[in-house]
Amino acid sequence: MTATAERAPAGAPDIPQLAERLRRAEREGMPIEPIRAELADGGIAAAYEVQRVNEDAWIAEGRRVVGRKIGLTSKAVQAQMGVDQPDFGVLFADMCLSDGDTMAVGDVLQPRIEAEVALVLKKDLPRADTTLPELMAAVDCLLPAIEIVGSRIRNWDISILDTIADNASCGRIVTGTRPVLPSAVDLASAGMVVEVDGRVVSVGSGAACLGHPYRAGLWLVRRMAELERPLRAGEILMTGALGPMVDFRPGSSAAATIQGLGQVRINLEEK
């Protein structure tokens, strides 16, 4: 990820046109050039408006919201991107895969993977002042998860504006099939290992995610409530990466193991 500063063009960003450009990139499977220069005049607020226009367009097309994801949970990555907070994106039902599935090449542009903890909710969380105990009481179960991130921006040449507009670079999520009670795991100290084709490519822990996955989840819950798009019972909350993101190439098989949660696997078909 890069945070290259660019001169903003005169005038407000053309939000509908930028949103359509990203949707077309996904439909046609062809990445586009960065859009940050066209968003710069409106900043982060304009980037989120592009994301929201596309969310509404996809819902109108029949896609169903099943949760949210948080990104930029690493302080180092936040500093690299020039921001002091995470970002978020929307999860749709057609983005969800299960342990051991095989994803088709082209389903996600320029795919990379990262291991995360997924929270499955049993209560609505509509309040912008939700407390940590309230979030904890609303979690039905934990699942090991892989986020397959992707970028509709060519060569991953992204700034914070590009990635926010592009639904926080989300492509697919893969969740495990063995739910774990929240009380059974100390998430902050839980270790994580990602293997691709049997080789360890990423390691981390729950503490890498804003100190604790619940802290990341709480930020997201509050943010979505503020925007009047709260997380609901039954939805999935992806809490952010536990370690470095890595490339995922055609023909590869990946497995993420999180201490106390178990393992989740995904395959990417050959070209």
**Rounded distance, CA 43 to CA 9, Å?**
12
Model pLDDT, residue 83: 74
With 0-12 / 13-18 / 19 or more C-beta atoms within 10 angstroms meaning exposed / middle / buried, residue 187 is buried
Distances (CA, A) of 227 to 52, 66, 171, 219: 11, 17, 23, 13
SS (H, E, C) 227-270: CCCCECCCCEEEEEECCCCEECCCCCEEEEEECCCEEEEEEECC
pLDDT digits 0-9 by tens, 143-161: 999 999 999 999 999 999 9
Architecture of domain 15-268: Alpha-Beta Complex (3.90)
Q: Tell which wins on pLDDT, 76 or 101.
A: 101
Amino acid (1-letter code) at residue 133: P
Burial of 260 (0-12, 13-18, 19+ CB in 10 A): middle
Domain definitions of the chain by residue range = 15-268
The whole-number average pLDDT for the span 111-134 is: 97
